[in-house]
Structure 1
């Protein structure tokens, strides 16, 4: 199998507390890989280590075979590892189209050319509309972003992430706080945009994970508890015990 991202013994300690403990992760190219686990399991800390918002205490991070453990967040982003919130905090008073155009400008390196005429951005409109179509937002292109529903704002964040042309997309809780209809929309959207890229996601909604993830890594107390396809992981007694009670029932898809 072709591994795009690998961690070896990834560890993060905070004043003696081990938040991530010797995690060995292998993400296969072209797959959707989900990180799940109870609250406090270390999922978001793991994401922060991968994008260098936190510095590992020990261990290695490799992307396409290159050691990126000591690289800056900006350098890692330039390699094509893009975390959704890094570039997708939407601007509420710009239109939906303008938000995507700003992300496209970042890719071109013209973000700070404030003194140039707006007309120079018009060539970006066609690509921006293409990205909006890919997330089913083309009908909302002229709408001020503040008027979008929460679920559609999250779809716009995915469009702005795609504008950075990621090789590996990191999505942190993409369906958090959504109603059923929006959850289903984002689930279908993630599946759709995964066609030509790799996705690593932290997600609490087991119905989403079970329906789109190729591989699941379960973390507990910062360490890997289990890994494999959902059908296998969901029947693992240690995983069921970690989730307990109603969360256990949720793991089984109820």
Structure 2
């Protein structure tokens, strides 16, 4: 049934001055799952992601969110509909503490940006929810630390907390492990698994070990088209996928 899928694309296509970056992509993201979008360099992953999140407008095709056509909807309106892209919409302010960053996001959710300039007493009313969100991402002990002083991995955890403040039904993660050391990768993977318990996650990720461990479904793109789709055990044995990665170890979690 259609309502099993929170996001669907139909013949999604993007051309740049005659170059077809994404070609007739039909993607269906099942509700309450972690769905990964992978592929070798130049596969069209980022373009596809930007189309779904409306940072790019498709040349043709259709994008549905909960059965609603959002093909021409602006990114801010899509966020209000419950689909939020982390690391893009959620800004972290380096001079503010972790708690203050989450409070700003909560104010945005309330639609009261002027709240930012109100008294400390007014802002304190948001503290309980902000502390709960920090605890959800394992960041409560850093509540009073300036965001600019956090490690790269913890800064990303804070970004997820600010995104969760918007109460998204679907969370889109653009290369969440990029630039991380192994300790931060493990911590962030646990975090993604935890936050996915009550929402849907679509992510673009190069770390195939993370993809293997986290994803329910994987869509592999090559030259802008869907090459294969399925669970990791299935796609990692697909000869076309192995060839596309040219021995980069898709079957060995490289």
In 2, Cα distance between equivalents of 1:223 and 1:17: 13
1:11 aligns with 2:13: yes
* Deviation (angstroms), 1:111: 1.4
Cα 1:68/1:129, change in 2 over 3 Å = same
Q: Is the 8 A contact 2:99 2:144 kept in 1?
A: yes
- Cross-structure match for 2:252: 252
Q: Is the 8 A contact 2:40 2:245 kept in 1?
A: yes
Q: Is the 8 A contact 1:96 1:141 kept in 2?
A: yes
Deviates more, 1:107-116 or 1:198-207: 107-116
Q: Is the 8 A contact 2:242 2:250 kept in 1?
A: no
In 1, Cα distance between equivalents of 2:35 and 2:230: 10
Deviates more, 1:4-13 or 1:41-50: 41-50
Q: Is the 8 A contact 2:104 2:116 kept in 1?
A: no
- Cross-structure match for 1:136: 138
1:159 aligns with 2:156: no
Question: What is the number of equivalent residue pairs in this alignment?
Answer: 252
Gaps of 5+ in 1: none
- Cross-structure match for 1:147: 149
In 2, Cα distance between equivalents of 1:55 and 1:188: 33
Cα RMSD of the aligned pairs, angstroms, is 1.1
Q: Is the 8 A contact 1:87 1:160 kept in 2?
A: no
In 2, Cα distance between equivalents of 1:212 and 1:221: 25
* Deviation (angstroms), 1:89: 2.4
* Deviation (angstroms), 1:112: 3.0
Residue 93 of structure 1 aligns to a residue whose secondary structure is: coil
* Deviation (angstroms), 1:115: 4.3
In 2, Cα distance between equivalents of 1:207 and 1:114: 41
Q: Is the 8 A contact 1:9 1:60 kept in 2?
A: yes
Deviates more, 1:105-114 or 1:8-17: 105-114
In 2, Cα distance between equivalents of 1:77 and 1:48: 14
Q: TM-score, normalised by structure 1?
A: 0.97
**Equivalent in 43, 46, 64 of residue 44 of structure 1:** 46
Residue by residue over 1:135-164, the C-alpha shift from the partner in whole angstroms, topping out at 9 and shown as x without a partner, is 100000001111111000011111111111
1:219 aligns with 2:210: no
- Cross-structure match for 1:111: 113
Q: Is the 8 A contact 1:206 1:251 kept in 2?
A: no
Residue 56 of structure 2 aligns to a residue whose secondary structure is: coil
Cα 1:114/1:104, change in 2 over 3 Å = closer
